[in-house]
Amino acid sequence: MATVSLVRTPKHLWVVGIVSLLWNAVGATDYTMTAIGNTAYLESMGFGPEEQAWVDAFPAWAVAVWAIGVWASIVGSILLLMRSRHAVTAFIVSALGAVGSFAYQFTSERPASMQGGTAMIVPVIILILIVAQWYYARRMAAAGVLR
């Protein structure tokens, strides 16, 4: 008869999972408000008509990989909280979506206001945090915490 070893859920998993979900919810809100063209939201983010026109001109594939990146990160956070090993895969998919989206954004002709500063730093921070979430999920899966 096989023995079943129960691995206790470390408290840090709940902290990381909840913080991860909250962070990724910010990304989902940003994606949704941008996708529906919420002018008030975009203006509050510093997007004037030129920046809004740039986003509106994204090709369908760029919008699709952006959506995949955003929603895969939400799924990854939920799977992490559910203690599912599939969180690892979800964060990989999220990273691939983000890389695809940022590749378009950095190779397209961006408005002058988006050539430096926050517009350049935030995507790097997002990628670092996705990789950190993937790494954490991978470590938890290897430790037997995620099933």
Q: Is residue 92 part of a domain?
A: yes
Select the more confidently predicted residue: 38 or 1: 38
Q: Kindly state the average pLDDT of the residues 37-63.
A: 93
In 17-118 the beta strands, taken as DSSP E runs, fall at: none
Residues 6 or more apart whose CB falls under 8 angstroms from that of 78 comprise: 21
Please report the pLDDT score of residue 5 as a whole number. Answer: 59
The structural domain count of the chain equals 1
User: Is 24's pLDDT higher than 90?
Assistant: yes
Q: Is residue 147 part of a domain?
A: no
Q: Is residue 127 part of a domain?
A: yes
**Angle of helix 60-81 relative to helix 11-35, nearest 10 degrees?**
160
Please report the pLDDT score of residue 2 as a whole number. Answer: 56
Q: Is residue 4 part of a domain?
A: no
Select the more confidently predicted residue: 6 or 10: 10
3-state helix, strand, coil in the chain (%, to 5): 75, 0, 25
Among 28, 34, 33, CA closest to 74: 28
| pTM to 2 decimal places | 0.91
Please report the pLDDT score of residue 1 as a whole number. Answer: 55
Q: Identify the domain containing residue 89 by its residue range.
A: 11-142
Q: Is residue 78 part of a domain?
A: yes
Q: Is residue 72 part of a domain?
A: yes
Q: Is residue 6 part of a domain?
A: no
What is the per-residue pLDDT across 106-146, written as a single tens digit (0 to 9) for each?
999 989 888 888 888 999 999 999 999 999 999 999 999 99
d(CA 123, CA 25): 16
Residue 9 backbone phi and psi in degrees, to 5: -80, 120
Q: Is residue 66 part of a domain?
A: yes
How many beta carbons lie within 10 A of that of residue 69, not counting itself?
A: 24
